């Protein structure tokens, strides 16, 4: 839009645009507010644009969300710091709407504006706004208020700070669980702004109140405050003040609260410090690993490697590893899967001997688990396991699991195992891989599901990268070429895809012979789908061959004639892709 054309961005035009029935049109108009304000200038933006925008509060939620975001970027447009407060009433209204996303964006924008206001402006405009929201009848206002304390607190005098503490305390004790939840989320940020003395005298009691709330949704959010709180406390203070709260929440009657503790166990432990972890945290962790709820056990299992780094080796061997063996047989399949995903992280911590004695039996058991995700998670961490126990012992148990997964009736499971084949190749080496797994890789090229066939072609490309082009030329390509004579046209087309994919990992001499002649030979296939895919394949090969001086003649001698023939094909799609490839070749 040209802002110089007769002031097209007047308020009248903006009104017409924003009243358009199409939501997308209104969204586009909102996104142009910076252009509008540039045309209007700061004074007209304050006097005409902002009052008009107030009328949009009843608009669609998507429009309000965009508006809430744009307003924080309009400080300079309305005249800079001296006039930034003019934006606050509009954002205050947005902070009261029912849509959560709009309120959160409005709160973020209000905080951004608070940061540029002077102390006097905060007293005149920000504090009254905060009080109105904190004391409003509707809970949405009070919910938004909880996020506005931190940017104000450090910029006002001590007397005002005491008022803010009292206001926040009221929100912590609010009748509405939604408000208390928001207060629990905001408490850690608020605590980071207050003095050390106020942490103990004012904020800690609020934390204790939230941790004892009758709503589990509030208590579980209080868990997140351990990390920011702990940095204010000495070891003795943590023991006296925070540890009792932690123990109570770790044994909470609600499994959701225990789940939150389990999910953040390593982070919380680190916040308390190594000395307290050694003395107090292992028993609670083991209790969570044996929790009656599978979700809690699953969360705790994911924390095992991280927690093992915080405690002595004796604790790992004597207390944690017995829990690992129990979890490997857990009735909850997701707990077993979580363990399988993270158990490999224990191997480098406990060392080779302990891994062989204690973890290897668990690995082998997981490789025969009924739940496919367990087997896949073990396989995905083979590099760590291999370093700990060696490929020979690992392969003995691994191969049966791979074969079983590769034949799983769920195609997504087969797809997942294909993605791990290059990793296995790195671990096993070319000879072992060719003997044990290559036939399996080739069989996927004939799978009934297209996504599997497609993944199989990408797998061959990655194998060529792992073992090198000479290995690919001698081992893979001859097997792929045999499929060009397959009666099933889908298999012939898969051959085409495989050769094209591998070409990106092959040197020019291998592409020249035998890849390119094979692709060109398929241009005579009776199936149009194969012919137009030949054209697409040749289009892919052109950039690979033309810049190479030794292969430049291949385009003129082989590729171009084939494409010219295809450009006269009776099938429209074949002609289209052939002409597109010829256009690329002529550049």
Check whether 282 has a pLDDT greater than 50. yes
pLDDT value for 257: 93
Q: What average pLDDT score do residues 130-148 get?
A: 91
pLDDT value for 16: 61
Check whether 310 has a pLDDT greater than 60. yes
- Residue 141, both tokens: 């206002």
Q: Is 547 exposed, middle or buried (0-12, 13-18, 19+ CB in 10 A)?
A: exposed
Decide which of 18 and 242 is more confident: 242
**Against a cut of 0.75, is the pTM above it?**
no
The pLDDT > 90 percentage for the chain reads: 29
Q: What average pLDDT score do residues 130-134 get?
A: 92
pLDDT value for 262: 94
- Please state, in angstroms and rounded to a whole number, the distance separating the CA atoms of residues 338 and 552: 53
Angle at which helices 243-250 and 255-263 cross, to 10°: 120
Q: Is residue 322 part of a domain?
A: no
Q: Is residue 372 part of a domain?
A: no
Q: Is residue 452 part of a domain?
A: no
**Confidence category of residue 255, pLDDT binned at 50, 70, 90:** very high
Decide which of 358 and 527 is more confident: 527
Tens digit of each residue's pLDDT (9 = 90 or more) over 316-373: 999 999 999 999 999 999 999 999 888 888 888 888 778 778 887 888 788 778 888 8
Return the exposure string of 510-535: e unless at least 16 CB atoms fall within 10 Å of the residue's CB, then b. Answer: bbbebbbebbbebbebeeebbbbbbb
pLDDT value for 58: 63
Domain count, the chain: 1
pLDDT value for 236: 86
Decide which of 127 and 79 is more confident: 127
The distance in angstroms from the start CA to the end CA of the chain is 36
- Please state, in angstroms and rounded to a whole number, the distance separating the CA atoms of residues 56 and 74: 17
pLDDT value for 332: 92
Of the candidate ranges 31-35, 188-192, 221-225, the one whose mean pLDDT is the lowest: 31-35
Check whether 14 has a pLDDT greater than 70. no
pLDDT value for 511: 85
Tens digit of each residue's pLDDT (9 = 90 or more) over 431-473: 888 888 888 889 899 888 999 999 999 999 999 999 998 998 8
Q: Provide the residue range defining the domain that includes 106.
A: 1-117
Check whether 6 has a pLDDT greater than 60. no
Tens digit of each residue's pLDDT (9 = 90 or more) over 399-433: 777 777 777 788 877 887 888 788 778 877 888 88
SS3 384: helix
pLDDT value for 9: 45
Average pLDDT over the chain, rounded to an integer: 84
- Please state, in angstroms and rounded to a whole number, the distance separating the CA atoms of residues 42 and 480: 70
Q: Is residue 108 part of a domain?
A: yes
Q: Give the CATH number for residue 80.
A: 1.25.10.10
Check whether 247 has a pLDDT greater than 60. yes
Check whether 82 has a pLDDT greater than 60. yes
Check whether 20 has a pLDDT greater than 80. no
Q: Is residue 152 part of a domain?
A: no
317, 354 in Cβ contact below 8 A?
yes
pLDDT value for 1: 42
Q: Is residue 557 part of a domain?
A: no
How many CA within 13 A on the CB side of residue 573?
9
Decide which of 26 and 232 is more confident: 232
**Confidence category of residue 549, pLDDT binned at 50, 70, 90:** low
Longest dimension (CA), the chain: 88
Q: Is residue 230 part of a domain?
A: no
Check whether 13 has a pLDDT greater than 80. no
Check whether 4 has a pLDDT greater than 50. no
Specify the residue for token string 């509008």. Answer: 36
Check whether 508 has a pLDDT greater than 50. yes
Check whether 94 has a pLDDT greater than 50. yes
Nearest CA-CA partner of 406 in 421, 384, 423, 427: 421
134: left (phi over 0), alpha (psi -120 to 50) or beta: alpha
Q: What average pLDDT score do residues 537-549 get?
A: 80
Specify the residue for token string 């040749």. Answer: 538
Check whether 259 has a pLDDT greater than 90. yes
Q: Is residue 340 part of a domain?
A: no
pLDDT value for 43: 84
**Confidence category of residue 291, pLDDT binned at 50, 70, 90:** very high
């Amino acid at each position: 839009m040209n802002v110089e054309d007769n002031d097209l961005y007047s308020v009248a035009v903006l009104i017409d645009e924003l009243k358009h029935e199409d939501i997308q049109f209104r969204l586009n108009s909102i996104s142009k507010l910076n252009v509008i304000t540039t045309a209007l200038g700061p004074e007209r933006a304050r006097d005409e644009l902002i009052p008009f925008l107030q009328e949009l509060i009843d608009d669609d939620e998507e429009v309000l969300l965009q508006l809430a975001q744009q307003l924080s970027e309009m400080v300079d447009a309305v005249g800079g710091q001296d006039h930034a407060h003019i934006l606050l009433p509009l954002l205050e209204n947005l902070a009261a709407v029912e849509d959560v996303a709009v309120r959160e964006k409005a709160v973020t924008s209000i905080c951004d504006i608070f940061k540029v206001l002077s102390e006097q402006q905060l007293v005149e405009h920000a504090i009254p706004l905060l009080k109105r929201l904190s004391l409003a009848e509707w809970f949405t206002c009070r919910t938004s208020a909880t996020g506005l304390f931190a940017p104000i607190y450090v910029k006002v005098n001590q007397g005002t700070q005491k008022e803010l503490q009292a206001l926040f305390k009221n929100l912590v004790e609010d009748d509405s669980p939604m408000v208390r939840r928001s207060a629990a989320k905001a408490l850690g940020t608020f605590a980071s702004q207050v003095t050390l003395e106020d942490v103990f005298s004012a904020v800690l009691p609020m934390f204790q109140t939230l941790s004892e709330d009758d709503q589990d949704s509030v208590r579980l959010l209080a868990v997140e405050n351990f990390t920011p709180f702990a940095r204010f406390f000495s070891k003795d203070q943590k023991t006296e003040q925070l540890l009792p709260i932690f123990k109570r929440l770790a044994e909470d009657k609600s499994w959701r609260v225990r789940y939150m503790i389990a999910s953040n166990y390593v982070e919380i432990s680190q916040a308390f410090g190594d000395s307290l972890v050694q003395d107090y945290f292992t028993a609670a962790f083991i209790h969570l690993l044996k929790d009656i709820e599978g979700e809690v056990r699953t969360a705790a299992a994911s924390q095992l490697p991280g927690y093992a780094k915080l405690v002595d080796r004796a604790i790992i061997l004597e207390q944690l590893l017995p829990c690992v063996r129990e979890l490997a047989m857990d009735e909850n399949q997701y707990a077993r899967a979580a363990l399988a995903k993270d158990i490999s992280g224990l191997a480098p911590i406990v060392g080779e001997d302990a891994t062989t004695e204690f973890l290897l039996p668990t690995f082998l058991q997981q490789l025969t688990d009924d739940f496919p995700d367990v087997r896949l998670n073990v396989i995905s961490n083979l590099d760590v396991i291999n370093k700990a126990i060696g490929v020979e012992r690992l392969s003995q148990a691994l191969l049966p699991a791979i074969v079983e997964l590769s034949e799983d009736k769920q195609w997504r499971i087969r797809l997942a195992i294909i993605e791990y084949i290059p990793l296995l190749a790195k671990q096993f080496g070319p000879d072992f891989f060719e003997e044990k797994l290559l036939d399996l890789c080739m069989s996927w090229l004939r799978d009934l599901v297209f996504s599997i066939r497609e993944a199989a072609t990408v797998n061959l490309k990655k194998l060529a990268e792992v073992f090198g082009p000479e290995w690919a030329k001698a081992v893979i390509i001859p097997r792929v070429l045999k499929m060009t004579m397959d009666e099933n046209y889908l298999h012939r087309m898969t051959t085409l895809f495989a050769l094209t994919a591998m070409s990106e990992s092959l040197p020019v001499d291998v592409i020249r012979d035998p890849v390119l002649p094979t692709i060109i030979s398929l241009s005579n296939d009776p199936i149009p789908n194969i012919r137009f895919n030949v054209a697409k394949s040749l289009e892919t090969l052109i950039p690979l061959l033309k810049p190479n001086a030794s292969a430049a003649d291949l385009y003129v001698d082989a590729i171009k004639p084939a494409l010219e023939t295809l450009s006269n094909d009776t099938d429209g799609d074949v002609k289209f892709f052939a002409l597109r490839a010829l256009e690329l070749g002529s550049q």
